[in-house]
Structure 1
Amino acid sequence: MRYSKEHKAQAKVAIVREAGRTLKENGFHGVGVDGLAASAQVTSGALYSNFANKEAVLEEVVATQLGIEFASLAGQEPAERRRMLGERLRLYLSDLHRNDPGHGCVIPSLSADVARAGESVREAYRRRMAEVIAVLAPAMPGSTQEVQEQRAWTLLASIVGAITIARALPSGDQAQAVLDAVLASVLQSVTDEP
């Protein structure tokens, strides 16, 4: 039976969505092709009909999912972008995000794996990170685009680091303290909130 191009495209989107969740939960080396296929409820053959190898799946996850938490800020006026960013930061630096890497941001979950991947994966990561900075920068204080971009990188590194550290700590007061401290700092730098 032959499937339509539309069906095949929908299947690929579903594979990427579920494989991305599994990769974010287990890491690139923590799951094999069979595990990725099973998470997407397809056969390994179906996965290979869409991707040359497991690294190609990682590349597609990076290319389609990195930075989606901030995509809705694009096109907003700076004041609205700052307001929306404050909302996103509260969600990003929450227990919900800390406790659910599979449905969370690609950056804290897969950056170490990307660093060990081939050039095409790293290039996809570079492109998407540049897009994230381009969305965040207009919300940053600063008199020049260069200063705003520098502050956007600082913000992104701070929140990713906070989630990474909080996930590594046992649940409890210390993990929460990391998230709370970074949230207070970044909100003050972006929205002038205490």
Structure 2
Amino acid sequence: MDTRQADPQQLKTWLLAVGKRDAAAFRQLYDATSAKLFGFALRILHKQELAEEALQEGFVAVWNHAATYQSHLAAPLTWMATIVRNKAFDLLRRSADAVEIDAEQFDSEVMNALHDPQATPIEALQMSGDAKALAFCMAALEGLHRQVIALAYFHDLSHSEVAQQMALPVGTVKTWIRRGLERLRTCLAAREQP
């Protein structure tokens, strides 16, 4: 069934039936809305497998919480889209955490990036210490703040590219980068204290 043709009243009827554990109504609700909700999740996550996972988790939540649906608060598709959106953002956060730089890998990559073949042994040792301090301070940042800084400075993405990749407003990305850099400065200054 084409979602654009789905009558909101019919969706409401199916959703209320799902609240009473009606599997046939759940199937009809799924058939009528899954394509649109999948497209919605895909716009947030940009990866088909993640969008499929968000859709699946969303429909599990719809099945488990349909009895709590209140038609006077939201249209059925709006209520379901909110659930799928929340699942998509949860997955986005989890996938961002999964690709976050772990301290050892980050430490190694930063030290390699700082390695200058022309450096004297003393200069190389200093750069290695700086890289370790930076890795330590990056690891102390909150996960998503660390991620936006890593994307901006180590993957050379613009603020708008970071915002697009993480499905965040550009203003949020700029704020997180500014705050993260302030925390890094404070942390690095504290590590330089004798």
Give the number of the structure whose alpha-carbon radius of gyration is greater: 2
Same fold (TM over 0.5): no
TM-score, length-scaled by structure 2: 0.27
TM-score, length-scaled by structure 1: 0.27
* Bigger RCO of structures 1 and 2 (CA < 8 A, at least 6 apart): 1
